[in-house]
Structures are given as structure tokens and as C-alpha cells.
Structure 1
């Protein structure tokens, strides 16, 4: 073939393209040039997906007809799953139209979402199933694709959902594929609620970790053995104790913390329960001495003896009258049940539903070397009431005076991190221990001034979900907050850090687009024609000038 043959160059180009494509099929490289590194997976996610040894099938129910802006959620989900597939080809996925299996999805607990759609100046409603199902062997898990936490707008809700995609998929994959390695002790023996009242929380926690009941009864006989046995657990949960802790029990917990054991404290410093209030209409909220004040004080916090009322609150259902022979019920705001819109910047509380508290006490943070992060805080319209105090259902009928709710922001939950000083560093020890540590190793703990945060209600002997109101069906973030707290304390695979991921997503201003649609339609129609006319005129002018 001659060097000047025009087909020679074409043939060379074709050969080069074939070679490049051949080698390209065995090598994959994607460059993320976005400012927020939107398409860069975390090291935790990559490590998790690389460890998958059996086929993992993901069914995504984001196919079919739904609002245009949710095409973005579909696209972002598809791109994320493509990344996972490139890491490990055992990860398979497909998108499915949920209309063909609506009944099956609802039976599995996957509830649809109703969306407000604004198009051409008209507002309508659309229903979608923003869920994915993950199957791995004989295990199956669900992935929520749309964050239900309260957001100022539908666009913000969508952005929060896209930011949360990597965490939700990584969390679901970890839950059904990884072996449980961390052990949690649920402390008993100090008047903690029966398991049926902690069922909702412990059931969710058991999907990730090994749980075991641990009593401190043997402290009186052999405290060192009790400390040794407790040290085998990575975390201890102290949920709503009602009986005083002895000094020996406190030293066991203190040295457990000094040796690196994590703790989640859910404490009620005030006795205030709804049972007696519902029976008589009145109740006395009085102080409960758990003998933990000095211990927590040394770590940097103090739970006060009071209760907090908040104008942003949950409800209680009371009989409001009769219609014929039927008793009528109504939901009333109950300011002793603050509804906490948690801080949206920390990984523990980001993008979760409001957390419901019941008769919480306030927490003071003290000056020391321990790092403190406030996790739960009242609204600015809160009021602190000293105890003992009379609580009456008649307060519902009294209109709240906003001028009285000016005690500013009140802390209910705090994360503590650092090297904790022992509460017994300069005191006589209640028992001798060879490995006493006056200063602990770097550690974490979370203190919540409300034991009811983890306590579910029981109806006819059956535990009710902790994250849903049995009367109004309102969703609460209690379960998610507690799970995130435990994940953070145990630093399980570092997955919780993915919740801090933030993306900058630009949305179309629909109202402005509708108002200016005529202008932009004309602009898009006329400008290309003008450009084409000018190009044709210049082309003909130059052609005539050249060949005349």
C-alpha cells in the first residue's frame, strides 16, 4: 500500500482505536474533577465492598414515571452502584419499576413517599418507592434512598438524600455481609427496665453487634473478677437505672472506662412517669439519687435535678368528650416531652428525624481537658423547672406564655472524648485492685439526661416501635440517634463518617422558570436561527468574493 494512499491513514487510526479499546477493557480509571469529590468513594466503603465473597444483588425501585428532579436521585444512585460494581463485580444491580410489585414492597415494610410536584405553574402529587433491596445469600436488607428527616424544602430533602447514599448502601452491605465482632454489655441489677421495654432498641442494635446482659451483682463478692469480665466487652449501655450504684460498682465502671471501655449513659435524675399521671391527673416529679454525680463530674458533666418544658414538643392522647356513647380522644401538646431537632453537622445526628424526650433534665458541661460536643439541645423556647415539682394534666388547658419560656438553649445529650481522669484518683478505693489507673487511655462516652430515650411502650404485652408514635404515626429519630451513637463510640468500620459528606447540588428555580419561560423559549428558538443566518450570509459572501 502506497504511503500516499488515503486509506492507509484510516487503517492506522482504526488499528490504534482497536488496540486502545482492547487494553481499556482490562483497565478502568475514572477521574473525579468535581469540587466536592462527589464520585470519590471512601476508603471504608472500598474496603467493605472488596471483602464481599458471594454474589450481592441490589434491586433499586427507582424506575418508571416520577418527578423530573428525582431523576437526579436515580442518576446518582446508578453512578454509585456502578462504582461499587467496578470495585467488585460480585455486586450486581438493576432498576425496577415498583408498580409491578407495590403490594410485596408494602408487606416488607417499604412505605411509599408522597411528593409535591410543581410543573407549568400547577401543583400535583406523585407517589414513589424510594427504596432498594439488598440480597446476600439468605439475608436481605433494605436501603432508604430518600431521607425522611424534616427539611425546609423538597430540594433540600433531595440533597440530603444524595449526600446520604454512600452511607446507606455501605451500612446495609455491612449489616448483611460482615461478621459481628464487637460485644456490648447491657448492664442490669440497678433497677433497669425489663428487656421488653428496651426491645425496639436492642433488636436494632443486635443486627450489628453481639449483645449480652451483664449484672453487677457479683461486685460485692469478687469485684476484680467482675471488672475483668466487664473488660471483655467493647461497650456498656447503662439504660435508665432507678437504684443507687454502690461505690464498688462505680469503681468497676470507672476502671472499665479508664481501660478504654466505651459507655452510653441514659440516665433519669428525676422520677417523673406518665402512669400515675394518667390515673390521677396529677403526679409529683422528685429527685432520684443514683449516686453517680461525683463520677460524671470528674469526667466533665453534671446532670441537674430538674425537668425541662419546651414549646416544641410531642403530644399525648387524652379523652376530650363523648359523641353519643363513644368516647372521643384528642392529641394535645405536652411540653414535658421536648421534640429535639438535632444538630445537623455531627455524624451522629445528621439527617435524622426529631428525637422525642420525656421529662429530660438539663446537663451542664464543666471546664476540663475533655472535648465536649453537644448532641441534643432544646429549642430557644424552653423552661427549666426545679424539682420536686407538681405535674398536672390541667396544664394542657393553660395557654403557654412564650415570655416564660426564655431559659435559652438547654443541653440534654453530650459526647465526651479524651483521656478521662478517674473519679477515684485521689480517694480511698472501695476495694483493692492491682491495675488501678488514675488517668484513662483515649476514650469516648455519651451522656444523655433522659433514660426514656431508649424505652419503648408496650401494648397488650407486645413492644411497640420506638421510632413511631402509636397514635399519630409520626416518625421519631430515637432509634437512629441511638444506633449512630453506638456506631460512633465503637467506630465500626468508620462508616458513620460517611454521614458527614456534603455535596453542592444546584436545583432549578421552578417558579422563576415558569415566569420567564416565554423569554427563554423565544431565546432558544430565535438565537440559533440568527446565528445560522449570519453564518450562511458570511459563507456566501466569502465564497462569491473568492470565486468571482
Structure 2
């Protein structure tokens, strides 16, 4: 009887503890995240956005039932993410799930919201059939709304969701001025960059001579000017910086013309003006063994395309510890120039990005030879700086900031047939730089969240040679050593047996 009472008592205690823990977990949300990139932990940028939410947000997920396991895992992760969003926003986010395949009315509602069904191949009983599914989301704040027509497995959903919420809830976007009139690429050629910046900023094209008041812009951007910038215009930049302005510059110090086979210097007056601020941009072409490729047509019995390493396209993966480079993994440049500091201690100089240990520079003008055999003496300048910042008082009492990249085309998509997709981290670098210049954390840390690139670490030719022969010779050495050991052991046994009085 006593034993039965103890069992009942223990059961009641356990049940009571579970009830208390369940109540505590409903009030205080906690989850441990042991992943390297903290993919299951809300980023500080997201938390800041959610804290600023004032208007209720309605999120509707149009998701079909009976999804394949990999897709269903994505949906489950999204549900968990929305639960965390709701908790951090103090219950200002309301979300619901709708299965449009349940009836025609719900299907029509999803389609009217801008979410259309997509075909999905599903393996069932050793057969492949095409299933028509819905996998989208609608976000509504007041009378404004945004949609995600297709939730793709593997994407960083937190960034997409936080970006849309920020876009819907932001009231007055700070102004960013994009300077034109000196051969800069048109805004249409910066499609990816402008799309990213437009989430937080109102990007406006401006002329330095006709703009009445530059102080209303949080930051100015000067991307790849190719024509002369007059002293009057540079004086306006001086006045803007003296008032505590901020300037992002992507300078095209050299121009590589592959079709003509030559590379020349570019002189706009900007390079001389930068020297007065303490930044020197050399009119040299950076070459790096860690580089991108170009496609050439190989001639023989047949003509076929071949990818060839082109050191004039440096791949940058070495960054200093700075807010701008937080989470940046790989930036790809083309015809870049090195940057050095020639100022004094009154300015705070910070290099941001560097070439690899095997890099060099060639003074313009040069001739291009795609088939050139590159040798060790071509890479005598390791760790060249390709991006840097300076900050301090520049003619006034307020602190001004400048960020410079030694490549004017690193974010240019182009137009029409020549349009290209830009490396994602190139865009992230620009957006982070504008956030830093504008003194706005924005989505800075969230842009680069998630593993996007894990390149194999390059090793030197000497180490390759060593490892090659180590792999070849080490097994032979071990076999010979073992044979000598066996031989010596057997020799000792024979010697011992030959001694007088030996008894086995």
C-alpha cells in the first residue's frame, strides 16, 4: 500500500513539474542554437526591426498539404521562425496557414494574392508524379502588402522576411545621392545594388552643380567616374564633408579594354582630390593568382570554349575586422587598383579588404595577353589593399567618413545582352558600407547571415610538392622500415639460438 502511495505521489510531482515548465516555456521563449552560423537564432538586425514594429502585421502562408520531406522541413522551419518573430514583436505579428488545395475558393484567394501553383515532382511507390502545390506567403501592414510567391528550400528566409517587414513598416527613408555627370554608369546598370539599397534608403540621382543642398543626403555615392570632375564640383564635395557628410567612392583608376588588348590609366581629378584626404590610389593593375576566369575559344579540329584563369580579376577573401566586412566572404573585382594611406594621424584610416599572399601590380599602360605564362616574379606585392575607410574632421567640426574601393565596376550589372549577375557579397559590401556611412545598422549583419561560400584554402606550390612526394614515398618508407625491423628481430633470434647452452 505504501509503495502504491509513493508511485501516485511521484506521478503527481512529475505532472506538476511538467505543468510548471510548460507554463514557464509559454511565457519565456528560449532555444539553444549550436550551429556555426547561428542559423536558428534571430539576428540583432531582425530583433531591432521587430522592436520598432508599431502597426500589426498579418502574415498569411498559402501552403499545400502532403509535401515531400525536404519541402516540408522548410515549411516547418518557417513556422518556427514566425513563432520567434511573434514573440520578439510582442505579439504584433499574426500569422495563419491556408491550404489552397482544400477547395476552389481558397485556391482562388491564393491566386488573387499573387501566389500561383507550381509543379513539383514527387516520387511515390517507385513512380514519379507531378503534384500541383502552393508554397507562398503574403505579408500585410495596413493597406500595404508584399508577397513571396515561392518559398525556395535553402534560402535565408530570415533575411527575406525581415527585409519585407522593414520595407512595409519604414516611414521616412533617408536620402542617398547618386552622383552623375562624369561618365558614371546609369542607375539602370546597378539593378542589384539599387534594389538592395532601396529597402532602407531613397536613392536619388544628383548633379553636383545643380543640386541646391547636399546636406539633406545622409551619404553620397560616386561610382566609376570616367570623365573629368571640375574643381568647382570637388569643392562642393569638400563643403559637404566639412559639414559632416559621408561619401562612398568606387574609383576606376585604370581601364582594361580587353577587346583592344590594352589597359590604360584613368585621370578624372578625383585621384588627386583623394590624395588631399590622405588616400592614394595607384594607377596600376592588380594581378592575383587567386582570380576569376575568362572564356576563350580554343582552335583545333573543332572550336570550343575554355575557361582560363585571368589574374586581372582578383577574388578577394581576406578582410579586416570591421562593421562593413562583417560576414563578407568573397568579393570579385575586375581591373582593380591598390590603395594606400598617405595622410597623418589626424585621420582614422582602416584598410578593409586585401589581395591574397600571391599578388602583384602592373603599372599602366599595359598590353593584355590571355595566354601569358605567369611566373613567381609577377606576384611580388602580397596583401595589397583594395578597399579602405577614413574618418575624421575634414575641414569642419563634425566627423566625416569616406569609403573607397579601387574598382569602379564591382557592382555594375550592365544592360541588355551585356548584363551580368554580380557576386552577392559585392552587393552586400556596398550596402554595408552605405549603412556604416549613414550611421545606420539597418540590415547589415543580416545580409551576410548563412553560409554562402566555403572555398578550399589555397596552398603554396612548395607545399603541394611536399605533400605529393610525401604521399608517394611515405608508404614505401614505412614498408622498408617494417622490413628492416623484421629482419633485425629475426637476426637477433638466430644469434641467440647459436649461443652455447641455448634451450628453447
The alignment's TM-score, normalised by the length of structure 2, stands at: 0.66
- Please state whether the residue corresponding to 2:345 is helix, strand or coil: coil
Distance in 2, matches of 1:347 and 1:305, equals 28
Moved more, 261-270 or 172-181: 172-181
1:140 aligns to what? Answer: 147
Structure-2 residue corresponding to 1:241: 225
2:337 corresponds to: 361
- Partner SS, residue 415 of structure 1: strand
* 1:53 corresponds to 2:8: no
1:89 counterpart (72, 88, 91):
91
User: Following TM superposition, by how much is the alpha carbon of 1:139 offset from its aligned partner in structure 2, in angstroms?
Assistant: 1.3
Partner SS state of residue 477, structure 1: helix
Match of 2:163 in 1: 171
**1:460-475 superposed matches below 5 A:** 460=417, 464-467=419-422, 475=423
**Secondary structure at the counterpart of residue 357 of structure 2:** coil
> Residue 541 of structure 1 corresponds to which residue in structure 2?
none
Change (3 A) 1:236 1:400: same
Shift of 1:412: 0.8
CA spacing shift, 1:300–1:329, aligned 2, 3 Å: same
1:79 to 1:406, Cα distance in 2 relative to 1, 3 A: farther
Q: Cα 1:402–1:184, aligned 2, differ >3 Å: closer, same or farther?
A: same
1:498, distance to aligned residue in structure 2 (A): 5.3
Change (3 A) 1:55 1:216: closer
> Structure 1 residues 479, 144: CA separation in 2 closer, same or farther (over 3 Å shift)?
farther
Q: Would the aligned equivalents of 2:289 and 2:358 in 1 still touch at CA under 8 Å?
A: yes
Report the equivalent of 2:364: 387
Q: What is the distance in 1 between the residues matched to 2:420 and 2:62?
A: 26
User: Does the 8 Å contact 1:375/1:413 carry over to 2?
Assistant: yes
Aligned-residue offset at 1:338? 0.9
| Cα distance in structure 1, aligned partners of 2:25 and 2:372 | 73
Maintained 8 Å contact 2:359/2:384: yes
Picking from 355, 362, 368, the partner of 1:378 is 355
How big is each residue's C-alpha offset from its partner over 1:514-544, in whole Å with a ceiling of 9 and x where there is no partner?
xxxxxxxxxxxxxxxxxxxxxxxxxxxxxxx
Distance 2:251 2:152 in 1: 31
Report the equivalent of 1:441.
398
Equivalent positions of 1:498-513 (< 5 A) are none
**Of residues 236, 250, 255 in structure 1, which corresponds to 2:234?**
250
Change beyond 3 A, Cα 1:167–1:138 = closer
Name the residue aligned to 1:319: 297
Q: SS at 2:217's partner residue?
A: coil
C-alpha deviations, 1:485-515, integer Å up to 9, x for none?
2233224354324579999xxxxxxxxxxxx
CA contact (8 A) 1:132 1:144 kept: no
Cα drift, residue 211 of structure 1: 1.9
How far the C-alpha of 1:144 sits from its partner, in A, is 8.0
Deviation at 1:364, TM superposition (A): 0.2
TM score, norm. by length of structure 1: 0.61
Are residue 343 (structure 1) and residue 342 (structure 2) matched? no
- Aligned equivalent of 1:483: 431
Q: 1:208 to 1:50 in 2, by over 3 A?
A: closer
Aligned counterpart, 2:375: 401
> Distance in 2 between the 1:40 and 1:354 partners?
24
TM-aligned CA distance change 1:288 to 1:396, over 3 Å: closer
Mapped contact 2:178–2:205 kept (Cα < 8 A): yes
C-alpha distance in structure 2 between counterparts of 1:374 and 1:75, whole Å: 42
Counterpart Cα distance in 2 of 1:500 and 1:140: 22
Unpaired segments ≥5 residues, structure 2: 100-106, 121-134, 452-504
Q: CA deviation at 1:205?
A: 2.6
Root mean square deviation, CA, Å: 4.5
Question: Deviation at 1:347?
Answer: 4.1
C-alpha separation between the residues in 1 aligned to 2:318 and 2:163? Answer: 21
For the residue of structure 2 that corresponds to 1:412, the secondary structure is strand
Gaps of 5+ in 1: 1-5, 113-130, 148-160, 219-225, 422-437, 468-474, 504-548
Q: CA deviation at 1:362?
A: 0.3
Q: CA deviation at 1:293?
A: 3.5
In structure 1, distance between residues paired with 2:383 and 2:70:
41
Aligned mates of 2:192, 2:283 — CA distance in 1: 28
Cα distance, 1:410 vs structure 2: 0.8
> How far off its partner does 1:260 sit?
2.3
Measure the CA separation in 2 of the matches of 1:95 and 1:489.
41
The match for 1:508 is none
- CA distance in 2 between counterparts of 1:339 and 1:479 reads 15
Change (3 A) 1:203 1:167: closer
CA change 1:199–1:409 in 2 (3 A) is same
SS at 2:373 equivalent: coil
Paired with 2:447 and 2:288, the residues of 1 have a C-alpha distance of 28
Q: Distance in 1 between matches of 2:97 and 2:69?
A: 13
Q: Deviations over 1:79-131 (max 9, x none)?
A: 5432221234342457999xxx9xx9xx99x9x9xxxxxxxxxxxxxxxxxx9
CA distance in 2, matches of 1:376, 1:364: 12
Which residue pairs with 1:514 in the alignment?
none
Tell me, in whole angstroms, the C-alpha distance in 2 between the residues paired with 1:346 and 1:145: 31
Q: Is the 8 A contact 1:201 1:466 kept in 2?
A: no
SS in 2 for 1:478: helix
For 1:406 and 1:309, how far apart are their aligned partners in 2? 10
SS at match of 1:330: strand
Between stretches 138-147 and 362-371, larger displacement belongs to: 138-147
How far off is 1:266 after superposition? 0.8
Is the 2:182–2:226 contact (alpha carbons within 8 Å) kept by the matching residues of 1?
Answer: yes
The residue number in structure 2 matching 1:297 is 275
| Change in 2 beyond 3 A, CA 1:290/1:41 | closer
The answer (yes or no) to whether the contact 2:49–2:162 under 8 Å persists in 1 is: no
